[in-house]
């Protein structure tokens, strides 16, 4: 029998198929998860605290390749009920092709973080309702993993079980996000990620566009030319005075290029080293690379973008998407702050540069809840865009809890307030503690409203580490257990909330497809 064929896509004429599927149904497997493999079948069911993997094989046959657990006899065969651990996740990916993370390529795409490891069925429902956007269901940054006590393996495995439970057979991406080191890359490789996002911002000096000349000169003098396989003379001669874009010429003044090199020279060295490590370890064409400089404190100018793309290409780096720091404020978990017309102009020029220098996608980081700008992003990028969200799914979990368990929400809020000053240091937020509700005095209604106010929403967004993996032992497990007990409600809330993110991109993709069909 062919492995990985959904039960609903095959007839019941083959001997044993009805027994295999019937046995899993009898054992409580979710209908959407039922999949025929290796002469038997696999699926998942919901247990008290999480998923349970089920595999059935005829008497005398081995359990489908590598699924480990507790065996019992059922309907003339052996049913194995296993834990949702890495071994069983890897075994499922070996058996079922659509559970293996895939490449995304040029398609419109969106990443959805899952700090609790429970969100995938809700994410899948949102993508189903908004076709034309390819999901990256496994996405977490190295920073988030440290704060939650998880690993890239945990993230990919949770997406594996969730995708099987939801019966998602269209494939999904897995992004090891905001990587700072070769060690981070190796951990992503080990987990089975196919997308790797390099984030070299620690090597970018604080040199905004209006930095004094003496600061730029000092940084330019410190450029590691040997590591760049370059020298100042060759660099100066390499660039024309302008780049012709669809919208007109982009001037490339020598002073601007010199400032860009001063800002990003060391970062280019780091990104190239990370890419070359990936290329040495993985087969060509088996991974995708993203370059992200969105978390610097100043805007990525068009000249900066041209410099980064030109130098990385020169060093042999190939990427699928690039995340600049756009104008305005992309704070965590709230809508865009700034002049939308200015942002749209910025998007237009960066997208034009991307089309001119490699036709790669723009990646919009801190993309959660930026509802006022999604249509502009889709329009400016012409659907060559990747949207990244992460903490908003965690906030939906808190909103689900706040409505059902005010005392748990009170405990979470208390920890968040204590942790905010430390937690905010590595995030772009402006929330202030002054005047926020006291956890002890807040009513249930006030606690539920914390997610509706941008100030308190940001505080909750960035303090997830203290809640999930902090000093209040048991709080993280308590939150996960409470969400699992209300998982159907949580997934419905996620479908609605993530769907708001995806809808403008789905609609734009549909319009593009319709336009292409009429040509």
H helix or E strand, kind and range, residue 266: helix 254-281
CA dihedral 332, 458, 179, 473 (to 10 degrees): -160
Share of the chain above pLDDT 70, in %: 96
What's the whole-number mean pLDDT along residues 292-303? 96
pLDDT tens digits, 438-454: 999 999 999 999 999 99
pLDDT of 39 reads 79
pLDDT of 15 reads 43
User: Of 177, 288, 295, 311, which is the active-site residue?
Assistant: 177
pLDDT of 248 reads 94
CA pair distance 39, 41, nearest whole angstrom: 7
Boundaries of every domain in the chain: 5-98, 101-391, 393-485
pLDDT of 63 reads 67
Residue 246, judged by CB atoms within 10 A of its CB (0-12, 13-18, 19+), counts as exposed
CA pair distance 320, 308, nearest whole angstrom: 14
User: Of 38, 154, 290, 405, which is the active-site residue?
Assistant: 290
pLDDT tens digits, 357-379: 999 999 999 999 999 999 999 99
pLDDT tens digits, 407-445: 999 999 999 999 999 999 989 899 999 999 999 999 999
pLDDT tens digits, 86-123: 999 999 999 999 999 999 999 999 999 999 999 999 99
pLDDT of 519 reads 60
User: Widest CA span of the chain, in angstroms?
Assistant: 81
Listed residue (188, 206, 208, 210) closest to 197, CA to CA: 188
Q: pTM (2 decimals)?
A: 0.95
Annotation marks residue 290 as catalytic: yes
CA pair distance 467, 475, nearest whole angstrom: 6
Helix intervals (H) in 450-486? 454-462, 464-469, 475-485
pLDDT of 9 reads 41
Please name the fold of domain 101-391: TIM Barrel (3.20.20)
Residue 11 pLDDT grade (very low, low, confident, very high; cuts 50, 70, 90): very low
Helix intervals (H) in 315-441? 340-356, 374-381, 391-404, 406-423
Annotation marks residue 452 as catalytic: no
Six-digit token string for 13:
């004429």
pLDDT of 38 reads 78
In the sheet that 35-37 helps form, which strands lie side by side, from edge to edge? Answer: 5-6, 35-37, 40-46, 51-58, 77-82, 70-74
């Amino acid at each position: 029998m062919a492995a990985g064929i959904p039960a609903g896509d095959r007839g019941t004429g083959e001997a044993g198929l009805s027994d295999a599927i019937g046995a899993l149904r009898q054992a409580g497997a979710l209908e959407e998860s039922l999949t025929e493999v290796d002469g038997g079948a696999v699926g998942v069911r919901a247990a008290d605290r999480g998923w349970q993997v089920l595999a059935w094989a005829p008497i005398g046959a081995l359990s489908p390749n590598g699924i480990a657990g507790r065996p019992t006899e059922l309907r003339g065969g052996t049913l194995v009920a296993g834990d949702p651990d890495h071994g069983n996740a890897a075994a499922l990916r070996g058996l079922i092709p659509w559970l293996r993370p895939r490449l995304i390529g040029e398609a419109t795409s969106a990443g959805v973080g899952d700090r609790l490891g429970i969100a995938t069925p809700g994410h899948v429902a949102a993508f189903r309702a908004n076709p034309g956007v390819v999901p990256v269901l496994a996405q977490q940054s190295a920073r988030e993993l440290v704060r939650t006590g998880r690993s890239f393996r945990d993230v990919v495995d949770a997406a594996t079980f969730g995708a099987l439970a939801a019966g998602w057979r269209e494939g999904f991406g897995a992004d090891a996000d905001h990587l700072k080191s070769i060690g981070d890359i190796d951990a992503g490789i080990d987990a089975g990620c196919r997308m790797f996002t390099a984030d070299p911002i620690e090597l970018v000096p604080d040199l905004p566009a209006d930095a004094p000349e003496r600061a730029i000169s000092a940084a330019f003098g410190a450029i590691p030319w040997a590591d760049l396989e370059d020298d100042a003379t060759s660099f100066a001669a390499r660039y024309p005075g302008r780049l012709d874009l669809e919208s007109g010429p982009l001037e490339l003044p020598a002073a601007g290029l010199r400032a860009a090199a001063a800002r990003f020279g060391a970062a280019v060295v780091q990104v190239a080293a990370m890419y070359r490590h990936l290329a040495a370890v993985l087969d060509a064409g088996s991974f995708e690379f993203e370059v992200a400089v969105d978390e610097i404190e100043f805007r990525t100018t068009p000249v900066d973008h041209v410099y980064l793309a030109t130098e990385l290409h020169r060093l042999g780096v190939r990427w699928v998407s690039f995340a600049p720091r756009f104008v305005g404020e992309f704070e965590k978990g709230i809508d865009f702050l700034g002049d939308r017309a200015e942002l749209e102009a910025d998007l237009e020029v960066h997208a034009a540069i991307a089309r001119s220098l490699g036709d790669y996608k723009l990646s919009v980081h801190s993309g959660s809840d930026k509802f006022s700008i999604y249509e502009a992003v889709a329009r400016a990028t012409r659907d060559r865009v990747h949207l990244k969200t992460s903490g908003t799914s965690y906030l939906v979990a808190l909103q689900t809890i706040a409505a059902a368990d005010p005392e748990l929400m009170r405990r979470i809020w208390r920890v968040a307030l204590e942790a905010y000053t430390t937690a905010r240091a590595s995030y772009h937020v402006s929330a202030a503690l002054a005047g926020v509700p006291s956890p002890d005095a807040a009513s249930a209604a006030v606690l539920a409203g914390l997610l509706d106010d941008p100030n308190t929403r940001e505080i909750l967004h960035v303090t997830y580490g203290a809640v999930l993996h902090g000093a209040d032992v048991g709080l993280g497990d308590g939150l996960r257990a409470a969400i699992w007990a209300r998982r159907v409600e949580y997934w419905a809330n996620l479908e609605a909330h993530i769907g708001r993110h995806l809808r403008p991109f789905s609609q734009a993709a549909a319009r593009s497809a319709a336009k292409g069909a009429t040509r």
